[in-house]
């Protein structure tokens, strides 16, 4: 993807999530894309998991934008430093804080100024002193290397144009022996022709979801080890969406086949050995 295309995509993401930041969860779930319906796609309720039973859950921070529960699988311990990529209004950050306790800390990074403002307001209301939110680009994080014990992210990296750079940055900010758990949207197999050109819209309105095999390969190539899928689920697109692209027979074939759009939660570790360029700095 060319640099100008990357910047255009980032601008689209910033505009879209600035709109979302001004809405609550019910508004996001009842409007396609969580903001405006100009993108002609599914709503996030199709992808989102329920956070409400998790410790640390803050209703005002839940905008219904996720596609998994990465904090549930992230093996976070008391005293850890956790970094949440694409922290939004603070949902995953606050759940992580309930686990790290007063001796740990949580840092949320988000690209959108209005999301950062909303997250900071939520933290201030709760008087959380060990949770902070920084505006920044996941491809160039405003953090020093070897900062985090754990990195989490929920349905964000599919929006990042340069995933290799994002995972390289994740590697850089993790301590040796640290790990990440991220939930994201990926593609599996060849989608039906009627959906091929529209797959990016189903993955959150903007182009970005890639084949699962390519996604996992990028993680391996930047130096991570012990890569495993902790959870995987098919995104069941409603008939009203599929009818716009497929015949009834094609819909049945699509639903019963292995190809499709999936939510995956992926775990990987930064080895304590020097296994990749830069890891011994």
Q: Cβ neighbours of residue 177 under 8 Å, at least 6 residues apart?
A: 269, 270, 271, 272
Question: What pLDDT does 158 receive?
Answer: 84
Coil/strand/helix, residue 49: coil
How far is 265 from 281, CA to CA, in rounded Å?
29
Helix (H) or strand (E) holding 187: strand 174-188
What values do phi and psi take at 250, rounded to 5?
-65, -35
**Cα(74)–Cα(82) distance, integer angstroms:** 10
Q: Name the residue ranges covered by the structural domains of the chain.
A: 3-269
Q: Quick one: which of 140, 136, 194 has its CA closest to 165?
A: 140
Q: Alpha-carbon Rg of the chain, whole angstroms? A: 18
Give the count of beta carbons closer than 10 Å to the beta carbon of residue 233: 14
DSSP designation for 132: E
- Taking alpha carbons only, the member of 93, 105, 169 closest to residue 137 is 169
Residues 6 or more apart whose CB falls under 8 angstroms from that of 34 comprise: 20, 23, 28, 43, 44, 63, 64, 65
Interior CA angle at 154 toward 148 and 159, to 5°?
105
Residue-level pLDDT at 260: 84
Half-sphere exposure of 12 (CA within 13 A, CB side): 19
Query: Model-level pTM?
Result: 0.83
- Looking up tokens 């939510």, which residue turns up? 263
- Tokens 């991220």, residue located: 182
The predicted pLDDT at position 15 comes to 59
Virtual CA dihedral for 35, 38, 39, 40, nearest 10 degrees?
100
Identify whether the C-beta of residue 265 lies closer than 8 Å to the C-beta of residue 70.
yes
Query: Looking at residue 193, what is its pLDDT?
Result: 65
154 forms bridges with which residues in the sheet? 183
Query: What six digits make up the tokens of 166?
Result: 């994002």
Residue-by-residue DSSP string for 6-44: HHHHHHHHHHHHHHHHTS-HHHHHHSGGGS-GGG----G
pLDDT at 256: 86
CB 108 within 8 A of CB 133: yes
Neighbours of 141 (CB within 10 A): 22
> Which CATH code of 3.40.630.10, 3.40.50.150, 3.40.630.30, 3.40.50.1460 fits the domain covering 3-269?
3.40.50.150
- Per-residue pLDDT 10s for the chain (281 aa) are 556 766 666 666 665 665 665 665 554 444 434 333 334 444 455 566 788 888 998 888 887 777 889 999 999 999 999 999 999 999 999 999 999 999 999 999 999 999 999 999 999 999 999 999 999 999 999 999 999 999 999 988 988 889 999 999 999 999 999 999 999 988 898 877 666 555 445 445 334 678 999 999 999 999 999 999 999 998 877 777 778 778 888 888 888 888 888 889 999 999 987 555 555 54
């Amino acid at each position: 993807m060319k640099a100008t295309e990357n910047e255009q995509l980032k601008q689209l993401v910033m505009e879209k999530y600035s709109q979302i930041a001004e809405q609550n969860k019910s508004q996001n779930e009842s409007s396609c894309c969580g903001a405006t319906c100009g993108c002609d796609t599914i709503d996030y309720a199709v992808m989102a998991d329920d956070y409400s039973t998790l410790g640390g859950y803050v209703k005002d921070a839940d905008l219904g934008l996720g596609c998994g529960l990465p904090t549930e699988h992230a093996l976070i311990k008391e005293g850890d430093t956790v970094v949440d990529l694409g922290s939004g209004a603070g949902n995953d950050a606050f759940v992580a804080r309930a686990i790290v306790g007063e001796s740990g800390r949580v840092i949320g990074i988000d690209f959108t100024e209005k999301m950062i403002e909303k997250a900071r307001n939520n933290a201030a209301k709760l008087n959380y002193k060990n949770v902070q939110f920084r505006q920044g680009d996941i491809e160039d994080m405003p953090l020093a290397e070897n900062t985090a014990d754990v990195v989490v992210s929920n349905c964000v990296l599919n929006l990042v144009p340069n995933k290799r750079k994002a995972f390289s940055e994740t590697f850089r900010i993790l301590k040796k022996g640290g790990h990440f758990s991220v939930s994201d949207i990926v593609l599996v197999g060849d989608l039906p022709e009627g959906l091929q050109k529209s797959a990016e819209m189903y993955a959150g309105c903007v182009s970005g979801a890639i084949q699962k095999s390519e996604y996992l390969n990028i993680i391996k190539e930047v130096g991570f080890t012990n890569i495993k899928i902790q959870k995987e689920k098919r995104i069941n697109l409603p008939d009203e969406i599929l009818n716009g692209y497929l015949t009834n027979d094609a819909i049945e074939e699509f639903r019963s086949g292995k190809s499709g759009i999936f939510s995956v939660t992926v775990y990987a570790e930064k080895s304590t050995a020097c296994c990749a360029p830069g890891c011994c700095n």
